[in-house]
Amino acid sequence: MDLDNVMQELEALGKERTKKIYVSNGAREPLFGVATGHMKPMSKLIKKNQPLAEQLYATGNYDAMYFAGVIADPDVMTEADFDRWIDSAYFYMLSDYVVAVTLAETDIAQEVADKWIASGEELRMSAGWSCYCWLLGSRPDREFDESKIANMLRRVEEEIHESPERTKYAMNNFIYTVATSYSPLHDLAVQTAQAVGPVEVNKDKVKSKFLNASDNIQKAMDRGQLGFKRKHVRC
């Protein structure tokens, strides 16, 4: 399938209701409103195809950009490629669920994520923290430097309340992921969640809300989900 075929198929799969949901979360035109599950038959047909993924991502169409992440070949992508992709990720569903997810399947994931976390840019930071969540939730504990992850928890505790909105979400999720998926630092993550307390987001909206890692960690513990590792990062 070439670019035109894929775009025609995505347009045919689009639903107005799904489109409205994506727009309410920050997506903008152009987009069709394709449910991610409906992309699976086409992704199985195409498998990995980096040249086509690059063409799709460059369209600026949200559904095409998402599908680009599904068929991308992380093994051939360079740091420059990921920097280019994050530059075009205009809202969190792209930065955290397309770019960060694809990055998490590479050998350069931590190196690139570290730079993004240090960037001071909201969506780069969000993608960096999210990438670590995908990594911790899928890779063996032995692949991580325990002291490094501990330092990252301390950084979250010190910085989360003053961080940009989307970065707060990713940092909060990092605490939760360490607690539930990285056994060596479960106790420290629980302590960090308690020290951080509720995190207010959407302060600029009519009604703000609060994130609470402690509550979510307890729910995971009640469900017996400690030590959870997913088999696949990408769908």
In tens, the pLDDT along 188-200 reads 999 999 999 999 9
Residue 193: its pLDDT value, please?
98
62 within domain boundaries = no
**Mean pLDDT (whole number) for 121-149:** 98
- pLDDT band for position 106 (cuts 50, 70, 90): very high
The percentage of residues in the chain with a pLDDT greater than 70, rounded to a whole number, is: 99
pLDDT at 115 exceeding the cut of 70: yes
Q: Is the dihedral of CA 88, 93, 98, 104 positive or negative?
A: positive
Exposed/middle/buried for residue 180 (C-beta within 10 Å: 0-12, 13-18, 19+): buried
As for how many domains the chain has, the answer is 1
76 within domain boundaries = no
Which of 86-90, 136-140, 145-149, 199-203 has the weakest average pLDDT?
199-203
Q: Token match 């205009």: residue?
A: 90
Residue 120: its pLDDT value, please?
96
The percentage of residues in the chain with a pLDDT greater than 90, rounded to a whole number, is: 94
* Beta pairing partners, 16: none
34 within domain boundaries = no
204 within domain boundaries = yes
CA distance 215 to 217: 6
124 within domain boundaries = yes
Exposed/middle/buried for residue 25 (C-beta within 10 Å: 0-12, 13-18, 19+): exposed
Which of 62-71, 146-155, 225-234 has the weakest average pLDDT?
225-234
**Mean pLDDT (whole number) for 87-110:** 98
pLDDT at 113 exceeding the cut of 80: yes
84 within domain boundaries = no
Residue 235: its pLDDT value, please?
60
114 within domain boundaries = yes
137 within domain boundaries = yes
- pLDDT band for position 234 (cuts 50, 70, 90): confident
List the domain range (segments joined by +) for residue 166. Answer: 109-235
